[in-house]
């Protein structure tokens, strides 16, 4: 019994990491035809769940049914966590088992669970005629007597893909938007042909209030070989006002580059801009609805499509706002001086997230090394990612200050931005300084503290932002990062990360104070009911 009680306490702590979040949007201005199309799209997308369950683990449905029979408190807690993790292994803790004894098969449900990568490769080498099908993004691999066989997704998951295609076609009949109609039809086609190229092209051309991303995309679930794509979906609604604002900001990117605090010869003009969208999510399923919820995605992955049309970045505004309410605000209440709590702003947090993304396309992309033009990435090696994430954060804040200067945002947005940006860094650093975003955030916090741009009161354990000093520190850090990227100066990058990218006592104290605050959200979608 005592063991069960301890285990129940541990399961409750795991569940408390995820705050229940209702995700919806205002659809009152959506034409009736689009509302109806959206309903049919959601029906199609709900069918991605049973597919993903089986992709995550071949015996997922049987195991879950067994687990559901255990009506003890502990059994029910395990079931609740199973549904968030989409399986009996903890995605927040290196796949540690919590409802089973066995380890997670590396190849998830895509391969026979006992097949090793070496065996797979040896078999493929000996059977070149099967290579293409066995290695395809869109097949599962099964044993066939002594050998292996590939089964196309269209066949393996026909039970769900056939009705999903029918719903997409029904939605295509309902919508009055031509680009959506085209995509829905071609994606429905792909579910039976396993050829997603044309529908990926059509997805890039979508220009519709209701948009949907549905199909097999990411390969992270396949940790054996990284070959197999998982089914997922995002059904989203955009609001015309946010899109107009975004278009205005995007048009200002060249001005923002010109405004960087570096000599003119360091400033660049980047080539074609990839499209970016701001949307509210009204439904997700499959791979997109497990463990930590994404706040933005960048698709498609098909290089042929990327070459022809670039990739589209989609920002999920209502998820970002929920994370602000349920995570960032409680963090601020613990670690921000009370006098500044009023400045905390969801809009500022959203803008900082948006301009983080936009800032990835500002600043140097290439450096001259020994008379050769090479990518900054190559020059900075392992230090590139944390430096680039750090740059995107701080340059995002710098860009927003510029927008305020130019009169595009109210003057009182200044303090909202400075305070929300600074506290937002603690949300990132929670993910650890071993990871690029976390390390980049630590660099910013520690630099700002060392320059007095924020102060830490050891007595109260709270931070106070010094607005004027913080603005100066932001400008200085943008300058330093852009210059070291421009020079491809790996030694300077390493020195910055070593000097400031660590877990210092104020950060450690802050993190221990916010330990019980959720790390993510568990979504529910009223518009899908
Ligand atoms: Zn980034």
pLDDT confidence of residue 460 = 95
Gap from CA of 279 to ligand 1 centroid (Å): 18
312-316 and 372-375 strand pairing:
unpaired
User: What pLDDT digit, counting tens, does each position of 437-488 carry?
Assistant: 999 999 999 999 999 999 999 999 999 999 999 999 999 999 999 999 999 9
How far away, in angstroms, is 320 Cα from ligand 1 center? 14
Q: What is the pLDDT of residue 446?
A: 98
Report in angstroms the alpha-carbon separations of 260 from 151, 254, 482. Answer: 53, 10, 9
pLDDT digits (tens, 9 = 90+) for 92-103: 888 999 999 999
Task: Provide the pLDDT for residue 330.
Answer: 97
User: 407: which residues sit within 8 A by CB, 6+ positions away?
Assistant: none
Q: Residue 385 C-alpha to ligand 1 middle, in angstroms?
A: 9
Nearest to 316 by CA among 217, 427, 203, 236: 236
- pLDDT higher than 70, residue 307: yes
CA of 388 to the centre of ligand 1 (A): 7
Cα(308) to ligand 1 centroid in Å equals 24
Quote the ligand 1 centre to 440 CA distance (angstroms). 10
CA of 393 to the centre of ligand 1 (A): 8
Using the mean position of ligand 1's atoms as its centre, give its distance from the Cα of residue 191 in Å: 32
Give residue 440's pLDDT: 97
Per-residue pLDDT, 271: 53
Q: Tell how far the Cα of 397 is from the centroid of ligand 1, in angstroms.
A: 13
* Cα(354) to centroid(ligand 1), Å: 10
Please give the distance, rounded to the nearest whole angstrom, from the Cα atom of residue 443 to the centre of ligand 1.
15
CA of 44 to the centre of ligand 1 (A): 32
Kindly give the distance from the C-alpha atom of residue 357 to the centroid of ligand 1, in angstroms, as a whole number: 6
Distance from residue 481's CA to the centre of ligand 1 (Å): 15
Tell me what the pLDDT averaged over the chain comes to.
95
pLDDT at 12: 96
Alpha carbon of 253 to ligand 1 centroid (Å): 17
In the DSSP assignment, the letter for residue 324 is I
Full 3-state SS string of 436-497: HHHHHHHHHHHHHHHCCCEEEECCCCEEEECHHHHHHHHHHHHHHHHHHHHCCCHHHHHHHH
Q: In the predicted model, is pLDDT for residue 272 greater than 60?
A: no
pLDDT digit string, tens, across residues 212-252: 999 999 999 999 999 999 999 999 999 888 888 888 898 89
Instruction: Compute, in angstroms, the gap from residue 360 CA to the centroid of ligand 1.
Output: 7
Token pair listed for 499:
């000097």
- Residues above pLDDT 90, as percent of the chain: 87
Q: What is the DSSP letter of 273?
A: P
pLDDT band at 1, cuts 50/70/90? low
Report the separation in Å between the CA atom of 423 and the middle of ligand 1, taken as the mean of its atom positions.
17
Is residue 345's pLDDT more than 60?
Answer: yes
Residue 469: CA count within 13 A, CB half-sphere? 12
Using CA of residue 224, residue 521, residue 17, residue 422, what is the dihedral sign?
A: positive
CA–centroid distance, 155 to ligand 1, in Å, is: 38
Gap from CA of 390 to ligand 1 centroid (Å)? 8
Identify the band that residue 273 occupies on the pLDDT scale cut at 50, 70 and 90. Answer: low
DSSP string, 221-255: T-TTTS-PPPEEEEEEEE-HHHHHHHHHHHHTHHH
Q: From ligand 1's centre to the CA of 82, what distance in Å?
A: 30
Distance of CA 319 from the midpoint of ligand 1 (Å): 17
Tell me, in angstroms, the distance from the centre of ligand 1 to residue 395's CA.
11
Residues 104-128: pLDDT tens digits?
999 999 999 999 999 999 999 999 9
Residue 220: its H or E element = none
Judge whether 206 and 179 are in contact, CB under 8 Å: yes
d(CA 356, ligand 1 centre) in Å: 6
What tokens does 205 get?
């051309």
Distance in angstroms (rounded) separating the CA atoms of residues 105 and 88:
11
Report how far ligand 1's centroid is from the alpha carbon of 392 (Å): 6
pLDDT at 332 > cutoff 90: yes
Residue 177 — φ and ψ, nearest 5°?
-90, 120
389 alpha carbon – ligand 1 mean position (Å): 5
| Ligand 1 center–CA 365 separation, angstroms | 14
Q: Specify whether the CB–CB gap between 482 and 363 falls below 8 A.
A: yes
What digits encode the pLDDT tens for the residues 487-497?
Answer: 999 999 999 99
Ligand 1: centre distance to CA 415 (Å): 23
CA 358 to ligand 1 center in whole angstroms: 9
């Amino acid at each position: 019994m005592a063991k069960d009680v301890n285990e129940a306490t541990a399961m409750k702590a795991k569940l408390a990491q995820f705050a229940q979040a209702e995700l919806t949007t205002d659809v009152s201005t959506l034409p009736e035809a689009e509302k109806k199309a959206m309903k049919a799209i959601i029906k199609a997308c709900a069918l991605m769940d049973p597919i993903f369950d089986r992709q995550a683990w071949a015996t997922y449905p049987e195991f879950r049914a067994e687990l559901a029979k255990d009506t003890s408190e502990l059994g029910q807690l395990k079931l609740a966590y199973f549904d968030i993790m989409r399986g009996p292994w903890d995605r927040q803790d290196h796949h540690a088992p919590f409802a089973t004894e066995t380890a997670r098969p590396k190849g998830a449900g895509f391969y026979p669970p006992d097949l090793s990568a070496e065996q797979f490769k040896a078999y493929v080498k000996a059977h070149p005629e099967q290579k293409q099908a066995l290695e395809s993004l869109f097949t599962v691999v099964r044993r066939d007597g002594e050998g292996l066989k590939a089964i196309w997704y269209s066949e393996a998951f026909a039970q769900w893909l056939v009705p999903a295609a029918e719903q997409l076609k029904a939605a295509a009949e309902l919508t009055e938007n031509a680009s959506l109609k085209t995509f829905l039809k071609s994606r429905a086609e792909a579910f039976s042909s396993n050829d997603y190229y044309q529908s990926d092209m059509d997805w890039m051309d979508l220009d519709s209030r209701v948009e949907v991303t549905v199909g097999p995309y990411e390969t992270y679930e396949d940790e054996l070989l990284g070959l197999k794509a998982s089914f997922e979906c995002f059904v989203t609604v955009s609001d015309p006002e946010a899109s107009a604002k975004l278009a205005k900001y995007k048009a200002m990117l060249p001005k923002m580059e010109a405004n960087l605090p570096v000599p003119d010869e360091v400033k660049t003009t980047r080539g074609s801009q990839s499209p970016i969208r701001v949307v509210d999510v009204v439904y997700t399923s499959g791979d997109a609805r497990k463990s930590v919820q994404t706040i933005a995605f960048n698709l498609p992955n098909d290089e042929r499509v990327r070459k022809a049309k670039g990739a589209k970045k989609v920002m999920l505004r209502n998820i970002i706002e929920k994370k602000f309410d349920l995570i960032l605000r409680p963090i601020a209440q613990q670690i921000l001086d009370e006098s500044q709590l009023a400045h905390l702003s969801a809009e500022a947090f959203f803008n900082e997230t948006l301009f983080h993304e936009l800032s990835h396309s500002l600043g140097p992309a290439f450096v001259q090394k020994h008379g050769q033009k090479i990518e900054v990435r190559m020059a900075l090696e392992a230090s590139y990612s944390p430096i680039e994430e750090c740059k995107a954060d701080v340059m995002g804040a710098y860009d927003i200050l510029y927008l305020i200067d130019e009169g595009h945002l109210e003057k009182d947005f200044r303090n909202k931005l400075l305070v929300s940006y600074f506290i937002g860094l603690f949300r990132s650093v929670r993910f650890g300084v071993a990871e690029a975003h976390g390390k980049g955030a630590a660099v910013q916090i520690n630099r700002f503290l060392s320059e007095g741009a924020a102060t830490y009161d050891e007595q109260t354990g709270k931070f106070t932002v010094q607005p004027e000093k913080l603005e100066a520190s932001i400008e200085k850090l943008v300058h330093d990062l852009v210059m070291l990227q421009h020079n491809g100066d790996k030694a300077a990058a390493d020195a910055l990360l070593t000097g400031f990218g660590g877990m210092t006592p104020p950060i450690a104290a802050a993190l221990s104070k916010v330990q019980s605050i959720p790390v993510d959200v568990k979504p529910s979608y009223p518009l899908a009911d």
